[in-house]
Amino acid sequence: MGTRFWRAFGAYSTNAVGDEFYALALPLVLLQLGYSAATTTFLRSVLIATTVVAGFLVGHVVDRHAPELLLTRSYLGSALALCAALVAITAGVDGYAASLVAATALGLLAAVSAAAMDAGIPRLVPAPDRIPRGYSLVESARTSATIVGPMLAGLVATLRSVVVVIAANAVSFALAAALSRTRRTTAPPAERRQSARQQIAEGLRAVVRHRRLRLGIGLSLLVNITLGAEQPLFLARLVQDFGLSVALTSGIVVIAGVVAIVVSLGLSHWTTDLPARGTMITSVFVIALSAVGIGLVDVLWVSALLYCLLSAATICYSVYWRTYRQDIVDPGLLGRVSATSRSIAYSGVVVGTVVVGTLQQLGVTTKTLLTAGGLLCTVGAVVGALALGRVRATADLPS
C-alpha cells in the first residue's frame, strides 16, 4: 500500500479512536456532574450540524491540496481548539460552555479531515487496483474505533473530569498530526484559477447533474433516514425487551464490530471481482431486512446474529459506495463530491434520529420502529435498484 498511505491511515485511525472516545466520555462526565441529558444532546447536535454545513464548503480545499497536508493541519487545528478550551476552563469558564465553542471548530475540521481521507486514497496508494483495499482498511479503522474508543471512554469517565477528557482528546489529535506529517506530499495537478465560490458551485453542480452519483447519494440518504437510529434502537431492544445486562449488551455490540471488521478485510480481496453497483444494492437489502428481523423476532440469539449481519452489510455498503463514487467522479472534483456526499448522508442521520426520538416520546415501541424503518428502507432499495438499472441502459450526463 505504500508509506504515504500507511502514515495517513495510522493518523486517521488514531483520530477515529479519539473521536469515538470523546463522543462518549464527555457526555458521561457531564451527566455525572449534574448536567441534563438535553445539554449533552445539544453538544452532539452542534458538532454534527457544523460538520454537515462545512462539508458543502470545504471540498474544494481537498481538491487543491495534498491529503497529508490537510490531515496534518486539520488535526493540529483540532488539538489547538481543545487546548484553547482547556485554557478557558482553567480561567474559570464553565466546562460545558467551553466544550460547546470547541465543538464548532471540531465539526468544521472534521469535515476537512474526513473528505481529505475519502478523496485522498486514490492519491495515497501506489496503484489503481489498491484503491478498494484502501477504502476497506479505512472502514475497518472506523469500525475498530467504535469498539476501542468507548472502552477507553468508560475508564476515563470514572475520573469525572471534563479537563481530563478534553486533554486526552487533544493528545489524540496531536499524535494523529505527528503521524500524518510528511515531507513527501503530492498535490492534485494545477487547474485554471477559480474563486472559492466558483469551485464550490462547480462541485455542487457535479452532484446535481450526475445521475449515477445522485442515485448513490440517494441510497446513503435512504439508509440514514430510515435506519440512522438503528444502534440505539437495538440497544433498547436488548436491554428493555430482552432484559439483558449492560455488560452482555456491550459484548454483543463488540462482537458485531469484530464481524464487520473481518468482512471489511475480506472485501479487500473480493472487491475487484464484484460489481460495485450490484453489491451496494444487495447490501442495502441486507441492512433493511436485518432491521425488520430484529424488530419482529423475539429470540435473543437470532436478533444478535441479525445485528452482526446488519453491521457487516453496512461496512460492505460503505466500501463499495466509496469505490463506486471514485470510479464515476472526475478526480478533480472528488474532494468536493466526497465532502458533499458525507454532508447529505449526515443530514439523514439527524433527520432520522429526530423522527425516531419524537415517535418514542409518543409511545411507539422499539420493535415497531425497527420494523417500520426496515420496511421503508426495503421499499427504497427496490426503487433505487430500478433506477440504477435504468441508468445502466442510458447514457450518463457528464460530471
CATH classification of the domain holding 102: 1.20.1250.20
Number of domains in the chain: 2
Instruction: Look at residue 250 and tell me whether its pLDDT is greater than 70.
Output: no
| Most confident stretch, 9-13, 126-130, 205-209, 270-274 | 9-13
Q: Which of 168-182, 263-277, 301-315 has the lowest mean pLDDT?
A: 263-277
Grid cell in block for residue 263: 468482512
φ, ψ of residue 320 in degrees (nearest 5): -75, -30
Please tell me whether residues 113 and 57 are part of one structural domain. Answer: yes
CA 134, chain centre distance (Å): 16
The pLDDT value given to residue 289: 92
pLDDT digits (tens, 9 = 90+) for 87-112: 998 888 888 888 888 888 888 888 88
Please tell me whether residues 287 and 387 are part of one structural domain. Answer: yes
Grid cell in block for residue 92: 474559570
Helix, strand or coil for residue 161? coil
Categorize the per-residue pLDDT at 381 as very low, low, confident or very high, splitting at 50, 70 and 90: confident
Task: Mark which of 136, 154, 179 sits at the end of a domain.
Answer: 179
More confident residue, 22 or 303: 303
340 is a domain residue: yes
Helix/strand/coil percentages in the chain, nearest 5: 85, 0, 15
How many CB atoms sit inside 10 A of residue 84's CB? Answer: 15
Please tell me whether residues 162 and 215 are part of one structural domain. Answer: no
Q: How far apart are CA 56 and CA 331, in angstroms?
A: 17
Grid cell in block for residue 335: 474532494
For 291-307, what is the mean pLDDT? Answer: 89
Write the single-letter amino acid at 20.
Answer: E
Task: Quickly tell me which residue has 440469539 as its cell.
Answer: 301
262 is a domain residue: yes
Please tell me whether residues 170 and 207 are part of one structural domain. Answer: no
| Most confident stretch, 8-12, 299-303, 341-345 | 299-303
| For the chain, percent of residues with pLDDT exceeding 90 | 7
Q: Which of 161, 53, 184, 34 is nearest to 107 (CA)?
A: 53
Categorize the per-residue pLDDT at 365 as very low, low, confident or very high, splitting at 50, 70 and 90: confident
Categorize the per-residue pLDDT at 199 as very low, low, confident or very high, splitting at 50, 70 and 90: low
Give the residue numbers spanning the domain of 44.
1-179
| For the chain, percent of residues with pLDDT exceeding 70 | 76
326 is a domain residue: yes
Instruction: Look at residue 309 and tell me whether its pLDDT is greater than 70.
Output: yes
The pLDDT value given to residue 63: 67
Instruction: Look at residue 398 and tell me whether its pLDDT is greater than 50.
Output: no
260 is a domain residue: yes
More confident residue, 136 or 68: 68
Task: Mark which of 179, 212, 231 sits at the end of a domain.
Answer: 179
Mean pLDDT (the chain, rounded): 76
Beta strands in 226-294 (DSSP E): none
More confident residue, 74 or 181: 74
Instruction: Look at residue 287 and tell me whether its pLDDT is greater than 50.
Output: yes
Please tell me whether residues 257 and 330 are part of one structural domain. Answer: yes
For 267-288, what is the mean pLDDT? Answer: 74
Q: How far apart are CA 78 and CA 106, in angstroms?
A: 6
Please tell me whether residues 70 and 126 are part of one structural domain. Answer: yes
Please tell me whether residues 28 and 69 are part of one structural domain. Answer: yes
Please tell me whether residues 13 and 38 are part of one structural domain. Answer: yes
The pLDDT value given to residue 84: 92
76, 41 Cβ separation under 8 angstroms: no
184 is a domain residue: no
324, 118 Cβ separation under 8 angstroms: no
Instruction: Look at residue 83 and tell me whether its pLDDT is greater than 90.
Output: yes
Please tell me whether residues 156 and 204 are part of one structural domain. Answer: no
Instruction: Look at residue 80 and tell me whether its pLDDT is greater than 90.
Output: yes
On the CB side of 83, how many CA atoms lie within 13 Å of its CA?
A: 10
Please tell me whether residues 124 and 211 are part of one structural domain. Answer: no
Radius of gyration of the chain (CA): 21
186 is a domain residue: no
Q: How far apart are CA 313 and CA 149, in angstroms?
A: 22
Task: Mark which of 179, 205, 232 sits at the end of a domain.
Answer: 179
pTM of the predicted model, to two decimals? 0.68
Please tell me whether residues 200 and 161 are part of one structural domain. Answer: no
Please tell me whether residues 142 and 280 are part of one structural domain. Answer: no
What is the per-residue burial (b if ≥16 Cβ within 10 Å, else e) of 188-223?
Answer: beeeeeeeeeebbebbeebbeebbbbebbbbbbbbb
